[in-house]
Structure 1
């Protein structure tokens, strides 16, 4: 696999959305926009009862936003648009009337932790360590922060946001509530995700929609909140500290 993509397949009432990018599944703006659109459309598809969100490849679930695009930001508006990419996907997941099951096969960083946090039920392998690395380059996990905090709690989210150099093991993420189950390998993960999703698809769709609405109560302001957070990140990325830090990666 060399070309980035977002695909969806439907089988037995389960819509499986898969994204991929050859750079460790880091996601540029166009792929994020397509992912948000695909999630929204799947939410309207009557043939789909439950959604599975996964990434291609074996090693990394999602390395966050595209670093290539990040280092080329030179004005506040471009910065806002860039950081709105993950905000739009998280809001699409939040508003989707169907349960979204996360399938996390490997490490996930930054915005990828936000995606995992925005799923309604998430399973992983033991290789699925997580890291919020944004502070390392002079910004912070402002856009994904609300989703991560909602799932992990403020204390755990603060811990990984401040300790921006460290990966936290999948078992830690399970204990804090991000992952529901952690498996030894990807094959077992896929078997369990498939069985769980297909069983869930036999439930009353209206009941599941009402449950999802109840679970996400209190997040109705996230369209505005995450947009405001994107502005903060867009401003910080233009600062001298971040610009000097990014030069080392060019």
Structure 2
């Protein structure tokens, strides 16, 4: 057997679900008195799967903690069978877990669990994202008055936007603090949750609906500062003050960059 053929055989064995190697692969290896070829192959086969499970547990610690070892490992095994690793880095193995949960479980079970998985994945994306160049309060202080109406901003690369319909953030906080998990519950009103990285520290906070609408309009839809004020017209003369207050908060949090930068 040529080396390339042997490598393909070995890869197929590792990726397959059967821990018993085919006769050709077994015959190509020599065992020892302490460890047969079959036993050595089984060790590799099991270790590969354990490494995949370990990666998923690391990316989804709250989902793991909430489900427990047995249920999480069963979910992870089904996911790995449906979505085998395609990337040289295991960092991206769990990218489709939330979508898989939506199709794997009945809707009543899937909805809160998939939302929790999306929240945890967002924390990872925020931490791994490119740095970006934040717009600072000092830069805004130097902005000429005539430039304010046309000011446009965008979210920095690390900022992840998650809409939570369940108490997923409370579950995440409980796991982080190693407290008992609260029961899963539907929120009275869906809440937008922002997750971002500042330096090497991950941050998050929930937004009130009005602030979420304003930030999404300005940093995602593309409103200018003047358009933001116009959207707040029901506040009357207080519209510019509220818009400026929110903008100050977003800049203090380190969420924004100038449009085009």
Q: Same fold (TM over 0.5)?
A: no
TM-score by length of 2: 0.23
Larger relative contact order (C-alpha < 8 A, sep ≥ 6)? 1
TM-score by length of 1: 0.24
